[in-house]
Structure 1
Amino acid sequence: MLRDTKKHVCAQCGLTFRYPGELEHHKVAHTGEKKFQCTNCPKAYSNWDSFRRHVNNHKVPADKYKCKICGDIFKTRNGLKRHTLHHTGERPHKCPHCPATFTVPSGLRCHLLTHTDEEKLQCPICRKPFKRNAALKQHIQYIHHKQKSLRLLLLPQSIPAETPAQTTHASSPSQGTTKQSTSFDRATR
């Protein structure tokens, strides 16, 4: 039985997280703080994993991952492998529902969401549903970015608690429920 274990709420945007470390990692999105500074170049990073990958790239010989077709140089073997697919035209990741094909698995994963009615994510401000986290983040950034004072009034206490269907990622909205439209809802559409 799934239950809501996301108890760590971001005070700035209302997103919830299962673990305190996830919330701390998320807060950097609001502050833009980059506390991991490379000692070999001016680049700085907000999270450890990106920083570590970058530092490891300084250790790679300049021509280790060189494209034999066009001469472009890549920092990782996977980068070169993905690049080579563009030359060959190969699109090995096929959608099982339609003729679409993709060069990388992430492209297929995003595409597969178009074949479902599931909208697992919801904007904490206007409650608009989304299938992909990236789309939700983009929505908040571009639609609600000028409504910071309104967001702060709404979060977190005045936004209704998530229903069990929302927290367990139900595949469809509850049947028979209606949504009351407010002036805020109409303004954010």
Structure 2
Amino acid sequence: MNSQECTQRSKQLLKQRAKLTRLKTTEGNRSASHKCEECGKVLSTSYNLLIHHNIHAGVRPYTCSICNKSFRSASGLNRHVRDVHDGIKNFACDICGRHLASRASRDEHRRTHSGERPHICETCGKSFKQKASLHVHRLYHSQALPYRCVLCDRGFRRKQELDKHAIWHSGQKPYVCDICDERFRSKGCITRHRRTHINQQLHICAICGAKFTQERYLKRHCGSLHTTVRT
């Protein structure tokens, strides 16, 4: 981590600690409950309430210096570095043998086998196997749209959604169909397109192996490219 990143991280931590100090000062009673004014959820500590507020604000102040992924809390960042970048995976799933970096990650993974869904949305009651899935789901109940497109000012709940949206403005079509070579802007578009090829009989060029969904496309191809070599 360079000096600029260290300075930025320090500022983020100081800002979080200042908020935490203000919360403790106004509470007056350490045993008092910590209730979110936006959704009514009750947290056990001031720190947990502060981190919870980041969900509604769309704020993720802790950033990984290796891959730039951001997190709402320092513990989330530390868990990410350990699980993804350190490569230490000492906890094995007793069902499939997959190794995970922590006991919590192993237990979350095991639910993909058991079907258990312990993480429940307090707004609509929908349940999830993993805590991260519940977090993503909660964003759709929130009215906060912190990520704005600089070209059309459309708002998004997550940075990943904004990045996908930006592709539409750029005109790029990075996703290529491996059957007909048609190009698309998003994974969703190419997935829908590929369904059109399911159960279709492909017409294959005997000379170069090119594949076509209709016989007329194959004839056009052969007529324009292989006329001189056909027998």
> Which range, TM-score by smaller chain?
0.3 to 0.5
Whose relative contact order is higher, 1 or 2, with alpha carbons under 8 Å and at least 6 apart?
1
Instruction: Look at both structures and tell me which one has the larger radius of gyration over its CA atoms.
Output: 2
User: Comparing both structures, which one devotes a greater share of its residues to helix?
Assistant: 2
User: TM-score, with normalisation over the residues of structure 2?
Assistant: 0.37
